[in-house]
Amino acid sequence: MRRVARTVLSALILASNMLVQPASSQGSEVAPGYTENQVKAAFVGHLFNFITFPDGHAAEYICTTEETAFTQNIAAVLAAAPTLKVEIHIMSAADIYASERCNVVLAQTLTASLISQNAQRDVPVLTISDQPGFARQGGMIELERRPSRVGLIINRARAETAGFTLSSKLLRLATIVSTAGGESDES
């Protein structure tokens, strides 16, 4: 079990340190041979190894509102790791928040009302986005593009209030923020 955790952590660290090409070169590759969306998708696939869902549940359904290159790459990562047993579903925002099955929401567009709706649900939902400012505005995990790599920004308080337990290994890789916008000293 420890060997598997170390291997997954190594892959996550490797993904976080891969160089990202400038945004102007859409479809450009991340060294060695991966696009930015592929690296972000790998992050999403590996996150579930470092997050414990409330009440012993596991990630099962990632719900999002549109199909993009990013969501296609996540689907490919999930298909390559069948032991995760996580599916990605495209549906309307109203359907996402009405569904009891969606326990991970990939927020393609950042709106305060969607985050607010999520916070009011009885079923805990892990929220993930690559939209700038997502974690500071109440989302849980933000994939941040940095000049030389992809990083994680985590709103630890929001995730823990919803009942999620975040691995200390994951927290060491992330910048921790609060909803109010102030960074914690845990980055």
pLDDT digit string, tens, across residues 126-152: 999 998 888 998 889 999 987 778 899
Give the separation between CA 52 and CA 43, rounded to whole angstroms. Answer: 16
Residue 109 pLDDT > 60, yes or no?
yes
Q: Which residues is 143 bridged to in the sheet? A: 152
pLDDT digit string, tens, across residues 60-77: 999 998 899 999 999 999
CA distances (Å), origin 56, targets 13, 52, 53, 127, 131: 26, 7, 6, 18, 29
**All structural domains of the chain:** 2-176 (3.40.50)
The whole-number average pLDDT for the span 38-48 is 90
pTM confidence score: 0.77
CB-count burial class (<10 Å; 0-12, 13-18, 19+) for 167? middle
Q: Which two tokens stand for residue 67?
A: 């199909």
